[in-house]
Each structure stands twice: as C-alpha cells, then as structure tokens.
Amino acid sequence: MATPGPAVTRPSEHTPISAAGRRRYPFLVKRPSRTWWLRTRAYRRFAAREATSLFAAAFSLILLTFLFALSRGPQAYDGFLRWLQRPGTVILLAVILVAILYHVATWFRLTSQILVIRIGRLVVPRKIVVGGLVAVWLLLSGLVLYLYALFL
Amino acid sequence: MAEETMTLRVTRYRPERGPDSYLDEFDVPYREDMVVLDALNHIKDDIDGSLTYRWSCRMGVCGSCGMMVNGMPRLTCSTYLREFHPEPVVIEPLESFPVIRDLVVDMTDFLEKLREVKPWVIREREDAVEEGEYLQTPEEVDRYKQFSMCINCMLCYSACPVYAQDPEFLGPAAIALASRYNLDSRDQGRSERDEVLGVDTGIWDCTFVGECSVVCPKDVDPAAAIQRTKVSTTTRGMLAAVWPHRGRR
Amino acid sequence: METIEHDIVIVGGGAAGLRAAIAAAEVSPQLSIALVSKVYPMRSHTVSAEGGAGAAVGGDDSLDLHAFDTIRGSDYLADQDAVEVFVAESPGEIVQLEHWGCPWSREPDGTIAVRAFGGMSVNRTVFAADKTGFHLLHTLFQTSLKYERIVRHDEFFVTSLLVEDGRCAGVAAIDLLDSEVRCITAKAVILCTGGCGRIFSFTTNAAINTGDGMALAYRAGVPLEDMEFVQYHPTGLPGTGILMTEASRGEGGYLVNNEGRRFLEDYIPSKMELGPRDILSRAIIQEIEKGHAFQGPYGEYVHLDVRHLGERTIDTKLPFVRELVRDFVGIDPVHEPIPVRPVVHYMMGGVDTDLVGRTRLPGLYAAGEAACVSINGANRLGSNSLSECLVFGARVGRKAAEDALDAQPVPGNPVARLAESEQERLVGSYLEKDGGRERIAAIRRDLQAALEKGAGVFRTEESLRDAVMAVRALRERYRAISLDDRGRAFNTELVAALELDNMLDVAETIVTSGLVRRESRGSHTRRDHAVREDDRFLKHSLAFATTDGPRIEYSDVTITRWPPAERKY
Ligand SMILES: Cc1cc2nc3c(=O)[nH]c(=O)nc-3n(C[C@H](O)[C@H](O)[C@H](O)COP(=O)(O)OP(=O)(O)OC[C@H]3O[C@@H](n4cnc5c(N)ncnc54)[C@H](O)[C@@H]3O)c2cc1C
Ligand code: SF4
Ligand code: FES
C-alpha cells in the first residue's frame, strides 16, 4: 500500500525507476535444470555434437600413442600394431569414425552459417557453401590418399 | 452444428495467491484461421478477465507477444492454432525470465544489456544535418541489414541454454544488435563495443547451440552474429599483435 | 504516495515521444526528462508503419510542391503555416535520422532513395524497405539510450493530468507492476500518445491505440480538433485489418474488382492507384455497393494485385507485405492477388496545438498522431505522419525544454494530493468497486460496432445521430462495469477499463463533431450533404468537454499562399 507522506525520489542517472522497483517484486524464478540438454530435440542434437567431440579427442590420443610407440623403437611399435588389430580396437575405431563423421557434418553446417560469401548484392546460399566445404574436404582427403599411394 | 472447441492449458502465476505457478484449462471456440493470441483474447474478454499477457500489434512486429507454446518460444500472434488442433495447446511464460504475472515476464535485464552494447552510431566527428546524409550504398546496407531486423521479442533468450544457466550472458539479441552497428559503414565505435562483447559474459560464453537462430521469427540469425564476432575479434586481436596499427579501425 | 520529480514528462514512446525526448535532452544537459509509456517504447504503434516518411529530398521536388500536395490532399482544411513549417523541416529530420543510423533504402550512389505514394505528385517518400516505422522507431529508441538524462518509466499507464492553479504540473500514472499511482511532476508535460483506431472494430491499429492522450487533454479542458476526420486506408486484409502498405501501389500494384478490371479508371483516372486514400476508400465501397466485389467470410473485398511486379521487386521493396500475406492469409502475393478492403487507419484530429506543440493549457504540449497542428486537415497523405512525428516531436521537445528552463518549480504538495485522490478514485471505482456486472469487452465491442456503423466511410445525419445515442448509452453501461481481476500485480484488466473510459470520450467527440459538420470534405463524406461548403465549414471543429457531452465550436483555418479551390486530380 501507499507509504504515508510525500517521499520524493530524484531519479539517479542511468537506473530506470522501474528497475529499482522491480527488484523488490516477488518474481517467480525457475531454477535452471541440470537436464536441460534432454529437453528438446535441438538440445539433444547439440549435446550429441559436443559429445562426439570427445571421440575426436580420443582419436588424437590414439595418434599420440602411435607416435610415442614409434619413438620408443620397433618393439613398442609392433605392440601398438597388435593392439590395433584386436577386434575390440577395431570396433572402437569404427565407432570413433562414425562419431567423427557426425561431428564433421555438424561443423560443415555451422561453418556455413558463419561464413557469408557475397557476390555483388547476392549472398551465396548455404547449401552451396556446404557443398563447397565438402568438396574441399574430399579434395584434401584425396590428396592424402594420393600421397599415401605415392610413398607406399 | 456443434461448435468445434480447443483446449488451452495456461500456466498462471499470481503473486497474491502464493509463491507457485499453477495450471488453468480453458476451452475456446476453434476456427481454422485463429492464432494462439486470438484464443487468449477470447479467454480474457469472455471467460476470465484476469488472464494476463502482453500483446499489441498482432502483426508480428511489436515483439510483445512471445510465450512458450508447446515448449517452444513463439510469437503468439503469428502462431496458428491449427498447427496443434485438435490436441490441447500448452501456453507458458517465456523460459529463463523472471515471471511477473501469468504470461508476463520481466525483461529489464535485456534492456540494461542493450544499453551496455551502445546500440547507437558512434563517430569521431558528427556531421551537421546541413551537410546532408552519410552516403551508404545498397551493398553497405546489406552488410548489417539482417541484424537490424530484431524486434526484441526475447524468443532467442528463452531458447538459449547458456542464458538459462548464466544470466550474466549478454545474449543473442544484444550481440546481434551490437554487430548491427559494428557492421554499419557509418559507425566507428567497434572498439568501444569490444569491451563488452569480447569478454567471458559476451561472445565467449556462447557454445553455439544455435537455437536462437532457429526460433527467431525475423531471421536475424543472432548465432551467426555471435560466431562472426568471435572470428573478427580474434583476427583483429591477432593482427593487432603483429601489426599494431591495423587492429583497430 | 511516491512523488517523482522531473523537468519534463513525455507521455508516449513512439516516434513523436522519442524524438521529443532527444530534442529536449539536446537543449540542455541540466534537464531531467521522463519518458513514460504504457508499453516498452519499441512496442509503440509506430513500429507497424510500413510505407515510408514523406519529405521533399528528391531532385525533382520542391517544398512548395510538397506543401501544395499536402494542402490539396487535406481538402484545404490544413493550416498552411503549419504545412510550410512541416515541409521545410522534414528533409532535415530525415537526414538527422540517417545520421542516427536509420537504415533508409538507398540509391546505387549511396544517397537516400524515394518512392511514389498516394496523393504525392512526385516520388518523395523515404523508406526502409516496407518496415519504415519499425526501423525508425528502433533507431530512435536505441539512440535515446545514449542520453542519460532521459529516464524511462516503462509500463506506466498515465491516468490523469495533474492540473494545479491553471497549469499542468505533472501526471498521475500507475506502475503496472503494483498498480500504485505515482505522482510524476514536471514543468512541462508532452502528450505523444498516438491515435485511437481501436474505437472501431476493423482497424490497422494496435491494441494500445485507445486515444488516451486525447482523452486526458479533453478532460483537462483542452479541445480536441477536427475529430470527425477519420482516415480509412483502402487496403487492409479482411478479418485481421492488417495493413497492406500504400507502397504496394506506389511500387506499381493494381486494385482490381471481381470483373478483373482496374476500376479506379471510373473514379480517379488521372491518378489511378496513386490517388489519395479518402477517394480510393470511397471507390472501393462504391464498387462493393455495385456488386463488383468478391465475397468472403469477413465481408466483401477487392483485389490488390502485385504479381506483375515480379518476385525480385517484391522481395526487395515489399518483403514485409509478402511476409504478412503469407503468414496471415496463407497465400503468396507473388502468385496470387491479395484480398483487401478499406480499414480504419489514422486520426487526422487530435489535441489542438500551435506550431510548437503548445496547447491552451499552460504546461501541456502535444505532438504526433495525438495532436492536431493541423497539417492533415480533412485527409492525411500517406507517409506524412511519420515525418510529422519527427518534425513536431523535435519542435515540441525543444520548446518544452526552453520553457522548463524558465519555469517556476512545481508546487509539490498540492500536486501530490491530486495524485492521491486519483489513487482513491482507481481503488474506489475499479479495484474495490462493489456491484455491477458489465464486462469491459462487451461494452468495447458494442462501441466499436456503433462507430463502424455510424461513422464509416459514408455517413448520414441518421447514422451519426444513432452513433451519438449509442455512445451515450454505452457510457451509462460503463458505470456498471465490474472487473474479474482485483489483483494489484500487472493488472491489465484495470488498464483495459481505463482505456475503455478514454475510448468512450474520444468516440463521443468523433460522432458529435461529425454530426454537426453538414458537408463532405476529405475523409468526412456525408451522403446527405455531398458537397464541400467552404462558406460554413472551411473551419476547424473544436470539441470541448462539458458535463453533458462535447460542445462543438469552430475556429478559422490559416490560409497563407494556397487559396481554397476545388480539389481536383
Ligand atoms: C499499420 C500502419 C502503418 C502505417 N504506415 C505509415 C507510413 O507508412 N507512413 C506514415 O507516415 N505513417 C504511417 N502510419 C501512421 C503512423 O505510424 C502513426 O501515425 C505514428 O506512428 C504515430 O506515432 P506517435 O508517436 O504519435 O504514436 P505511437 O507510436 O502510437 O506511440 C504512442 C505511445 O504512447 C504511449 N501511450 C499511449 N497512451 C498512454 C498512457 N495512457 N500512458 C502511458 N503511455 C501511453 C504508448 O505506450 C506509445 O509509446 C501507419 C499506421 C499504421 C497503423
Ligand atoms: S534476435 Fe530474433 S528472436 Fe532474438 S529478440 Fe531479436 S527478433 Fe527476437
Ligand atoms: S502482438 Fe506484436 S508481435 Fe505479436
């Protein structure tokens, strides 16, 4: 209710009066949930994108182990190769491959959202940008394969 | 002929009634061309005058009528009931905002953030009006136009899980509007805006969930604004390190 | 009761209010300026304006030509000194907005582009695609954030003017958050509250356009000028009333009847689709009466056809039209013609002011659609309103600032007492009122129907008399209203009740002024008095509040260089 007597406020700079009043108001505030990322499909997709990055990390670890083994001499290297051939490892690598492919696909989609290519007043449509990115990727992969064939 | 009806489940919150929200159910007459807002107006006019929500233009441009409709942030004046008919529709206040009453949320936070990003043209020297307009080609307008289309409807904030967890986050629309001025050929205030953008609670808080751009009714694409700002501040930062006079513009 | 002191209080955060606030802030950094608005400023109705803002900026244009078009469009009822000021200052305002960042559409060389509009004899409508009002409003709002001395009171609803000792010394406003009245005192109060299209059932206007400022001034003894002139826009979407901007015709769209014919050749062959709004609206109604219209669930309509413009032009010049038609009609205007019918759009009349926005009540000013300067006379030309908001918003802001710097301080205690009794009134008559069972919405609907019926495009003595009676009867029913909502937190039903109160007052001035203007001029077309009668009615009407309804007086029209002539196109 109204406070008795004329209380005079001289508005201070920058703080809207309403904001000051608002802080005393009994707002209903929901606490953010810990499982927010399960709530909608889009969030689940985001979570999948982030989770698959762990597989990319796992693959880098395997690569590092490989280099480490290489530097430790032939015995360690052979051991590493043997580990690679175990069925469990093969399954793991297959899973990693699928996850990384998924992750890569999300990145193409995201990159096309960030990258705007303008020709005059026309903006290159996102589909074409994604296509271009995929083309560059295929080209680079081809190059790697070619080099591999060259040195084999 | 019996009139077709449709059920609306509306979240209510009335501080006088206690600290929790509750659900109310209303049956409204249904027509093919009714939007969610029409149904709310029907309730307010003819069933329960105490139902509280904001609206004004009912043409998708004033930005007042955002609510959660079946779990998604939507402009209720441009969301047709036929999308959900004959299932009931669930109407809730926008996520992540303090609720004032029923479907009305408090957006003071956004307005403060908006002011922080200095959404006005900053120039070293202001020309007098008599000197005429600053020239700007249609191509130059194109560069920032998309980010100037924001109607401040807050749907993006309510779709953003980062904002939900960290209310300090500047958020999609404020960053999009900062970019709008940064990309405007008439503006020279980029470095001033960088002070609020290039920090933890600015662009770097964003994990690129991308939902802001999905829910945005005006195709502003705030997610792109944020990521592009990340790219441009980083490149300018690096340029400034190797070539001190280029980094600032 | 909390008293908040300012030097200037601006009621309304649309184009006019924001422009006034910035203008006042630029006069002196000493001034404390309050911007009070019942919605956040960027929600103001200005946001809906589509087509553009008129100003003589093009090479083939001149101030005199803009002035003449405006005066002829007004059916010679505009005050010509006001028009001269208006046309002279609008180009500068357009550039000022450009400097503040407004994304005006451009020519390839980087200069501001102009487009054709109804009733304008050359291209002079500056635009930002077809979201001109939106861009203009957001530019002004964002620019206003720069000025620390502009203090906003968002979501405050002004319920009355505080008049003490013959001068306006502030406003009483309820903070929607707690429904408490705040006493906001000031040496100058500026009303920029926009129009009142909502008193009609079929309107382009937003929910907030309830004529509050007009009613506030009227009750404080200031007359409302030329209220009988209500603009019908020829092209609204049936049902929703959403506007199809005049720019769609400016860019080359056609109006077509059910015979597939551009029927305007029967009415205004020299201008066709670019004729002024009053003439086009009448033409459409006449086509409907001749049975040349299409039938639809929301009444008869004609077609607005933009298909021949092609997808490219539609997407660059009229993207919003395409968006709106797709979203709200479910068709694509690139492939199908758009159904349209005349719709209530704009109030030429408003609070009587002079050229710097002063009213007859010292301390009270007005600008924008709420005011009547008058540059619009009996019919406004499309795109003149946004420019009017800018020009007269700036003028009133500067004038009020200068006056406030010289003015005596406001007598705090008596003014606070006025606000306290306002609080008691709100509690007694609404929040804690016993008895009554009239619903607000029911009265509002009946009011809207009465106005639609009695004060439409064509009017008669009988229709207007019926409307006057209907409004009086509704005023009686209003006494018996009862609110469902007695809560104090964000009580929008209380606001709706207060708005309805304002709508009733404003409606009464419209129908009463219309009843006694027994001639046809501009938008006011009487079937029983089909011609313009300069001898008797080359005059502004002024509606004064009395205890038994409005008293209508007349004042002279200022003629400078354009003697009244037949309005020919
Ligand atoms: C759909 C549409 C399209 C249009 N297109 C054009 C166009 O292309 N060109 C053109 O020139 N004109 C156009 N117009 C007309 C023009 O938009 C308006 O006349 C103009 O925007 C009015 O601006 P304003 O500042 O006077 O009022 P508004 O923008 O209506 O603002 C009114 C303000 O007053 C506040 N207010 C009102 N009552 C109260 C109260 N009791 N307490 C507190 N605050 C209050 C509101 O919150 C709001 O902020 C269009 C109009 C419509 C409806
Ligand atoms: S960016 Fe889009 S969703 Fe976010 S406030 Fe602006 S218009 Fe709304
Ligand atoms: S009511 Fe204005 S955006 Fe929906």
Question: What DSSP assignment string belongs to B128-164?
Answer: PGGG-PPP--HHHHHHHHGGGG-----HHHHH-HHHH
Kindly state whether residues C529 and C432 are assigned to the same domain.
yes
A74-78, B68-72, C417-421, C450-454: least confident range: A74-78
Residue C517 belongs to a domain with what CATH number? Answer: 1.20.58.100
- Is C113 part of any domain? no
Closest-CA distance, A39 to chain B, in angstroms, reads 9
In chain A, residues with a C-beta closer than 8 Å to the C-beta of B138 are 121
Chain mean pLDDT for chain A: 82
In chain C, residues with a C-beta closer than 8 Å to the C-beta of B99 are none
Which helix (H) or strand (E) element contains residue B223? helix B222-242
The most confident of A45-59, B196-210, C79-93, by mean pLDDT: C79-93
Enumerate residues 6+ apart whose C-beta is below 8 A from C331.
C325, C338
Is there an atom of ligand 3 within 6 Å of B155 CB?
no
- Is C281 part of any domain? yes
- Closest-CA residue, ligand 1 atom 21, reads C46
* CB–CB contact B213 A43 (8 Å): no
Q: What pLDDT, on a 0 to 100 scale, did the predictor assign at position B245? A: 64
Question: pLDDT per residue over C168-214, tens digit each?
Answer: 999 999 999 999 999 999 999 999 999 999 999 999 999 999 999 99
Chain B nearest-CA residue for C442: B45
- Write down which residue in C277, C308, C342 finishes a domain: C342
Q: What percentage of residues in chain B have a pLDDT greater than 90?
A: 88
Q: Give residue B246's pLDDT band: very low, low, confident or very high (50, 70, 90).
A: low
- Residue C51 confidence (pLDDT) above 50: yes
Mark which residues 86-115 of C lie under 8 Å from B by CB. 92, 95-96, 98-101, 103-112
Q: Give residue C352's pLDDT band: very low, low, confident or very high (50, 70, 90).
A: very high
Mean pLDDT of A84-109: 92
C233 is catalytic: yes
* CB–CB contact C142 B111 (8 Å): no
* CB–CB contact B138 A27 (8 Å): no
Is there an atom of ligand 3 within 6 Å of B64 CB?
yes
Q: What pLDDT, on a 0 to 100 scale, did the predictor assign at position A34? A: 83
Is there an atom of ligand 3 within 6 Å of B63 CB?
yes
Enumerate residues 6+ apart whose C-beta is below 8 A from C192.
C10, C11, C12, C13, C14, C16, C17, C20, C213, C366, C367, C368, C370, C389, C393
Mean pLDDT of C217-246: 96
Q: Give residue A111's pLDDT band: very low, low, confident or very high (50, 70, 90).
A: confident
Which atom of ligand 1 is closest in space to residue C499's alpha carbon?
41
Question: pLDDT per residue over B10-46, tens digit each?
Answer: 999 999 898 999 999 999 999 989 999 999 999 999 9
- Is C487 part of any domain? yes
Closest-CA distance, C550 to chain A, in angstroms, reads 35
More confident residue, C327 or C95: C95
- Residue B150 confidence (pLDDT) above 70: yes
Burial grade of B154 (CB within 10 A; 0-12, 13-18, 19 or more): buried
Residues in chain C: 569
Q: What pLDDT, on a 0 to 100 scale, did the predictor assign at position A12? A: 37
Residue with the two structure tokens 């006025």? C418
- Is C380 part of any domain? no
Tokens of C376: 């619009």
Q: Which residue among the candidates C249, C292, C303, C524 is catalytic per the annotation?
A: C249
Question: pLDDT per residue over B209-243, tens digit each?
Answer: 999 999 999 999 999 999 999 999 888 888 888 87
* CB–CB contact C151 A11 (8 Å): yes
Tokens of B51: 């139902």
In chain A, residues with a C-beta closer than 8 Å to the C-beta of B107 are none
Question: pLDDT per residue over C377-392, tens digit each?
Answer: 999 999 999 999 999 9
Q: What pLDDT, on a 0 to 100 scale, did the predictor assign at position B2? A: 62
C46 C-alpha to center of ligand 1: Å?
A: 4
Asked whether C195 and C389 are in contact (CB, 8 A), the reply is no
Domains of chain B: 5-105 (3.10.20.30), 108-242 (1.10.1060.10)
Which atom of ligand 3 is closest in space to residue B65's alpha carbon?
4
- Is C279 part of any domain? yes
Ligand number with the minimum distance to the CA of C206? 1
Chain mean pLDDT for chain C: 96
* CB–CB contact C152 A7 (8 Å): no
C370 C-alpha to center of ligand 1: Å?
A: 8
Question: Could you tell me if B87 lies within 8 Å of chain C, comparing CB atoms?
Answer: no
In chain B, residues with a C-beta closer than 8 Å to the C-beta of C112 are 133
Question: Could you tell me if B106 lies within 8 Å of chain A, comparing CB atoms?
Answer: yes
Question: pLDDT per residue over C523-540, tens digit each?
Answer: 999 999 999 999 999 999
Instruction: Assign C8 to helix, strand or coil.
Output: strand
Q: What pLDDT, on a 0 to 100 scale, did the predictor assign at position A151? A: 84
- Is C130 part of any domain? no
Q: What pLDDT, on a 0 to 100 scale, did the predictor assign at position A114? A: 85
Number of domains in chain C: 2
Instruction: Assign C135 to helix, strand or coil.
Output: helix
Closest-CA distance, B63 to chain C, in angstroms, reads 7
| First-last CA distance in chain C | 58
- Write down which residue in C285, C315, C342 finishes a domain: C342
Question: Could you tell me if C206 lies within 8 Å of chain B, comparing CB atoms?
Answer: yes
Question: Could you tell me if A20 lies within 8 Å of chain C, comparing CB atoms?
Answer: no
Closest-CA distance, C290 to chain A, in angstroms, reads 47
Mean pLDDT of C280-292: 96
Residue C281 belongs to a domain with what CATH number? Answer: 3.90.700.10
Q: What pLDDT, on a 0 to 100 scale, did the predictor assign at position A35? A: 85
Contacting chains of C (3 CB pairs or more, <8 Å) are A, B
- Residue A14 confidence (pLDDT) above 50: no
Which atom of ligand 1 is closest in space to residue C173's alpha carbon?
42
Fill in the amino acid letter for C276.
Answer: P
In chain B, residues with a C-beta closer than 8 Å to the C-beta of C90 are none
Q: What pLDDT, on a 0 to 100 scale, did the predictor assign at position A16? A: 40
Across the A:B interface, residue pairs with CB atoms under 8 Å apart total: 73
- Is C45 part of any domain? no
C249 is catalytic: yes
Is there an atom of ligand 3 within 6 Å of B60 CB?
yes
Q: Name which of C476, C472, C475, C483 is nearest C441 in CA terms.
A: C483
* CB–CB contact A8 C5 (8 Å): yes
- Residue C325 confidence (pLDDT) above 80: yes
Quote the CA–CA distance of B150 and B134 in Å, as a whole number.
Answer: 23
Q: Which of A39, A50, A121 minimises the CB distance to B138?
A: A121
Which atom of ligand 2 is closest in space to residue B221's alpha carbon?
1
Q: C393 to each of A145, B44, C16, C25, C370, how far by Cα in Å?
A: 70, 35, 5, 13, 11
The domain containing residue C502 runs over which residues? 427-534
- Is C153 part of any domain? no
Q: Give residue C451's pLDDT band: very low, low, confident or very high (50, 70, 90).
A: very high
**Test the C interface: residue of A17, A25, A28, A121 with most C CBs within 10 Å:** A17
Chain mean pLDDT for chain B: 94
- Entry pTM: 0.94
Q: Name which of C234, C233, C232, C238 is nearest C256 in CA terms.
A: C234
ipTM over 0.90: yes
| First-last CA distance in chain B | 70
